[in-house]
């Protein structure tokens, strides 16, 4: 009999305590044939293994118990994982798409966690689009630095997806879940089949899943209590010239909202209902746009994946293992008709002759505002002097002596297509939301040829990986050229009629009729935008990214030599890998025609990495002191060019002074090179909600970032120490681990708020007077202000260039506790209790540049891009019961409270004033399921029925006065999700 040795799977959602003796060997007499394997945490092949590093194993049953088609959620539920994107909250300060869920061990960033499939590197970190779940045997999560073993990126740890290569038979799985009101529905259909061949084994799995949209109006209480209105004027805010009592221009202008603001509330003033505040809500001098109805909490998606494995044994010594994995993930996201901000200062003045201009020239000579009249020019328009100034009639208040005219106004804020009642672009949905999303395709081929040297313990393997991915991302924008032409009345909206030009009307007069700056919904607009004009200024953009990954590794493992305490085992190898990226932006962006974001140039980049590694396991066994093993490993990596090279060592010790106790510790260094996007990405822009301390305004602004060729690699020292205890003849296992990560030169990004606040502090330090507009304008136009902040002539901020940089230091310390108890109930079955808990002790950061340092533990950390929300404590407690064909699970997930740390100080002040809370309360989510297996419901094949619920109590956190109303990195907006799963053997 040949028995494959592996890590014991410890039950549903259990942490496996690897430092304890993990392998129970089934033997038939003395003739048992033990197959040696390589397990996560070591490159050495052996027949049993106790790790000196902490490893959590999530087996296939635990994956199913998470009741989700998205593997990213399984990782997000681990107590030591922070900041994984599993829900959609697109306009939050840290936007979440909910479709590209990457492991984020310790919250150190997706780039600090290495992803493996069957021990081989993959460059697809999106756990939602990888292996069909039915083909996953388990997930090994190594919670320790492992750059010496696996190379760059393995700083926080390693996530190794182990596939079910040895599966035999055929199994079909159907999964369906939905929330309490049927607003959100998820379905998954999977199949796996496998069979032995004459010289090996073949297995294949297929998966298809689909998810509907959960719109934010499906959770109206969070829209009503949250913040979902834009501080950017809707449809715009304008600088309107002021006049004295005689009608003469004063040379100044007044910030003025559109006169159509608030004329028609549509469906009403309940922001939880679509169509509310249809013409905006006037607050102060800003016409606010309520945008929550256009956004989602969960985006719709369709997902397909294929996995195949073929193992062929040529003879007793030579084996080949070949894998193919392909996936396609389509996501469908909604958003506002257009984003605010953009290249406003480049737009022309809207002339008084513009047919939609509602700003009638008026002056107050003591009787209130009265209309003015101008001299008529030869063309019938108001007469202008050489400077373009309209010439008033001899008596500008007498209509008999002149003609009416409107003011030339300058646009200071603009929300294109955001006026809910106006003609909308053809590209938008029926509800006015702009469709966005992505289409991601990935294929990965991996092959390993292994030769076992006859008469020795050595095995040599040659492994290769080829992976190709294509990502088509849809995004919305506006044509800067068409906007300029439309404002000037020279826009050719219909290419088939090149001699016909049209105006674009940026005012509410495209819907209303306005007289003397007073608008009314008469059903006859002053000047409506045609469908052709609206479509001409709208860009449905497309960015296509192709990535290629190639790697070749030659490795050998076996016995090195024997010493008095036992045999030294070793592994040695060399690796070459290459990353390539090819980014193709659409023509409008290539031509600098994007209103938000401007230009982008297509680019290609490549990174070649060569490395050599070794690992030695040295037994230190003595009869008096128990058993011990010392591990030493190292990897030399050469990135070439300006990045350079690095040698990263690791030393670890495992000591078992007695059978029931295991002690372990490790230290390693890590080296993370800047990624291709970090170095070469052209300028890309997105919205950030930010305050401007110069004028105390709060609004969405455009923040643009780009690659930085001056970035240096990150380095880190990683330290782990832990202990495991096995009691009651192995029925009770308890473990504790302490982890410490000390980063230098962490690759980070500044936020818009940080850039502006630093500029404001410099202004004050230079003696600037924040109460004086002249003082502020002098600063903006002077040499010492930050020129990465773009402002118009009035000092209104429109766009900020943020930057990638190397932070000075970051340090994270955490404590993990885990326990398992097996209870035999005799005729009442068996129960297994599991407990996993993590305490974040420290997450200190110092970005440099004068940005205040801090500690992110117990905080939302919204203003620090690299630090996710980090409750101090997280605990998962699970109880599993089995009796014959019956099984049940009850799980509690407790999340500690945390202090609010909004990106906007004004919103935080509003939260405290409205709700009286500056912190989120702790919460407990309860999950439960029950399953029964019929041995022969269909023929002689087993059928398993399972019903269950996530968040059985239908609990939600208290909404807060911030974007989205909920911190979706921590809490679940879906509420109770009921599900059913059927597994049928065929």
- Mind listing the pLDDT tens digit for each residue in 441-492? 999 999 999 999 999 999 999 999 999 999 999 989 999 999 999 999 999 9
Task: Give domain status of residue 504, yes or no.
Answer: no
Q: How far apart are CA 897 and CA 922, in angstroms?
A: 4
Residues in the chain: 986
Place of tokens 């110092």: 846
**CB of 938 closer than 8 Å to CB of 944:** no
Predicted pLDDT of residue 11: 31
Number of domains into which the chain is organized: 1
Q: Domain for residue 412, yes or no?
A: no
For the segment 296-313, what is each residue's pLDDT rounded down to a tens digit? Answer: 999 999 999 999 999 999
Backbone angles phi, psi at 293, to 5 degrees: -65, -15
Is residue 647 included in any domain, yes or no? yes
CA 432, CA 495: separation in Å to the nearest integer? 25
N-term to C-term CA, the chain: 27
Q: What is the CA radius of gyration of the chain?
A: 32
Residue ranges of the chain with pLDDT lower than 50? 1-35
Q: Is 159 inside any structural domain?
A: yes
Decide: 455 and 110 in contact? Cβ < 8 Å. no
Range of the domain at 651: 55-216+298-336+624-674+711-750+800-985
Number of H helices, E strands in the chain: 11, 52
Note whether residue 965 is domain-resident: yes
Residue 494 lies inside a defined structural domain of this protein: no
Exposure letters 966-985 (e unless 16+ CB within 10 A, then b): bbbbbbbbbbbbbbebebbb
pLDDT at 47: 60
Q: Which residues pair with 502 in a beta bridge?
A: 491
Q: Report yes or no on 836 lying in a domain.
A: yes
CA nearest to 423, candidates 536, 582, 306? 536
Q: What is the pLDDT of residue 41?
A: 83
Tokens of 403: 């003609």
**CATH number of the domain residue 667 falls in:** 2.40.170.20
Neighbours of 83 (CB within 10 A): 22
On average, the pLDDT of the chain sits at 90
What does the pLDDT read at residue 224? 94
971 inside domain: yes
**Global confidence as pTM:** 0.89
Cα–Cα distance between 620 and 535 in angstroms, integer?
A: 75
Question: Any bridge partners for residue 690, and if so which?
Answer: 699
């Amino acid at each position: 009999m040949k028995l494959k040795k592996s890590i014991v799977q410890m039950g549903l959602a259990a942490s496996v305590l690897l430092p304890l003796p993990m392998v129970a060997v089934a033997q038939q007499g003395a003739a048992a044939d033990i197959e040696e394997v390589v397990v996560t945490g070591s490159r050495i092949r052996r027949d049993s293994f106790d790790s000196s590093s902490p490893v959590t194993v999530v087996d296939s049953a635990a994956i199913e118990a998470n009741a989700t088609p998205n593997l990213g959620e399984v990782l997000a539920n681990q107590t030591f994982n922070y900041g994984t994107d599993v829900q959609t909250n697109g306009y939050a300060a840290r936007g979440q798409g909910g479709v590209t869920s990457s492991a984020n061990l310790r919250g150190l960033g997706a780039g600090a966690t290495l992803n493996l499939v069957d021990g081989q590197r993959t460059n697809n970190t999106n756990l939602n689009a990888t292996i069909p779940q039915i083909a996953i045997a388990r997930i090994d999560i190594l919670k320790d630095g492992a750059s010496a073993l696996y190379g760059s990126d393995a700083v926080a740890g390693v996530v190794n997806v182990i596939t079910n290569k040895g599966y035999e038979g055929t199994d079909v799985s159907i999964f369906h879940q939905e929330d309490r009101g049927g607003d959100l529905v998820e379905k998954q259909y999977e199949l796996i089949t496998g069979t032995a061949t004459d010289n090996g084994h073949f297995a294949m799995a297929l998966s298809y899943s689909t998810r509907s949209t959960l719109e934010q109006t499906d959770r109206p209480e969070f829209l009503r209590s949250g913040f979902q209105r834009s501080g950017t004027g809707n449809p715009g805010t304008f600088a309107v010239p002021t006049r004295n009592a005689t009608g003469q221009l004063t040379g100044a202008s007044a910030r003025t909202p559109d006169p159509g603001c608030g004329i028609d509330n549509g469906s009403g003033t309940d922001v939880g209902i679509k169509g509310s505040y249809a013409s905006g809500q006037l607050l102060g001098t800003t016409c606010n746009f309520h945008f929550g109805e256009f956004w989602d909490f969960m985006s719709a998606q369709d997902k397909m994946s294929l996995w195949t494995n073929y193992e062929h044994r040529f003879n007793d010594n030579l084996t080949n293992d070949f894998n193919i994995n392909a996936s396609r993930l389509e996501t469908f996201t909604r958003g506002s008709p257009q984003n605010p901000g953009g290249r406003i200062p480049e737009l022309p003045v809207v002339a008084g002759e513009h047919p939609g201009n509602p700003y009638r020239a008026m002056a107050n000579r003591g009787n209130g505002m009265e209309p003015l009249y101008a001299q008529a020019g030869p063309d019938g328009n108001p007469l202008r002097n050489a400077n373009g100034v309209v010439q008033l009639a001899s008596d500008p208040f007498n209509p008999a002596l002149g003609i009416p005219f409107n003011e030339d106004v300058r646009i200071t804020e603009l929300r294109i297509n955001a006026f809910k009642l106006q003609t909308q672009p053809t590209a938008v949905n029926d509800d006015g939301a702009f469709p966005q999303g992505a289409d991601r395709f990935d294929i990965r081929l991996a092959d390993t040829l292994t030769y076992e040297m006859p008469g020795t313990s050595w095995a040599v393997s040659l492994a290769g990986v080829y992976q190709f991915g294509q990502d088509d991302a849809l995004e919305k924008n506006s044509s800067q050229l068409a906007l300029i032409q439309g404002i000037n009345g020279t826009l050719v909206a219909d290419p088939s009629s090149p001699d016909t030009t049209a105006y674009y009307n940026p005012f509410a007069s495209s819907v209303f009729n306005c007289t003397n700056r007073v608008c009314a919904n008469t059903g006859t607009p002053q000047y409506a935008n045609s469908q052709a004009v609206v479509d001409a200024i709208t860009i449905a953009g497309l960015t296509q990214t192709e990535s290629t990954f190639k790697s070749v590794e030659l490795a050998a493992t076996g016995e090195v030599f024997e010493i008095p305490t036992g045999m030294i085992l070793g592994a040695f190898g060399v690796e070459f890998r290459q990353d390539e990226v090819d980014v193709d932006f659409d023509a409008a962006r290539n031509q600098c025609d994007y209103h938000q974001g401007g230009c982008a140039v297509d680019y290609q980049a490549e990174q070649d990495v060569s490395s050599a590694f070794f690992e030695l396991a040295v037994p230190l066994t003595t009869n008096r002191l128990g058993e011990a093993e010392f591990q030493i490993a190292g990897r030399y990596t050469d990135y070439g060019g300006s990045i350079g090279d690095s040698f990263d060592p690791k030393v670890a010790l495992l000591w078992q002074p007695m059978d029931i106790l295991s002690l372990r510790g490790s230290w390693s260094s890590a080296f993370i090179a800047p990624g291709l996007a970090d170095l070469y990405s052209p300028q890309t822009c997105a919205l950030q909600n930010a305050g401007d301390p110069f004028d105390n305004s709060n609004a969405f602004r455009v923040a643009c970032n780009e690659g930085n060729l001056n970035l240096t690699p990150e380095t880190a020292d990683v330290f782990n120490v832990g202990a495991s205890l096995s009691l009651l003849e192995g029925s009770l296992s308890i473990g504790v681990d302490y982890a410490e990560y000390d980063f230098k030169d962490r690759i980070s990004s500044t936020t818009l708020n940080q850039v502006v606040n630093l500029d404001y502090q410099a202004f004050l330090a230079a003696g600037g007077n924040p109460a004086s507009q002249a003082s502020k304008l002098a600063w903006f136009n002077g040499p010492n202000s930050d020129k990465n902040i773009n402002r118009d002539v009035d000092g209104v901020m429109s766009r900020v260039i943020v930057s990638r940089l190397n932070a000075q230091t970051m340090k994270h310390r955490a404590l993990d506790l885990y326990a398992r108890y097996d209870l035999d109930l005799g005729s009442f079955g068996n129960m297994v209790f599991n407990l996993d808990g993590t305490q974040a002790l420290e997450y200190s950061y110092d970005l440099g540049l004068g940005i205040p340092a801090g500690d992110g533990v117990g905080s939302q950390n919204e203003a620090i891009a690299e630090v996710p929300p980090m409750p101090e404590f997280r605990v998962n407690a699970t109880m599993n019961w089995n009796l014959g064909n019956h099984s049940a699970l009850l799980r509690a997930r407790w999340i500690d409270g945390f202090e609010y740390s909004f990106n906007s100080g004004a919103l935080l002040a509003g939260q405290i004033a409205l709700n009286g809370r500056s912190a989120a309360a702790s919460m407990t989510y309860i999950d439960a399921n029950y399953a029964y297996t019929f041995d022969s419901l269909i023929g002689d094949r087993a059928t398993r029925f399972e019903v269950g619920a996530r968040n059985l109590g239908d609990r939600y956190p208290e909404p807060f006065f911030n974007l989205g109303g909920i911190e979706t990195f921590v809490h679940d907006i879906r509420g109770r999700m009921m599900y059913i799963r059927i597994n049928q053997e065929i």
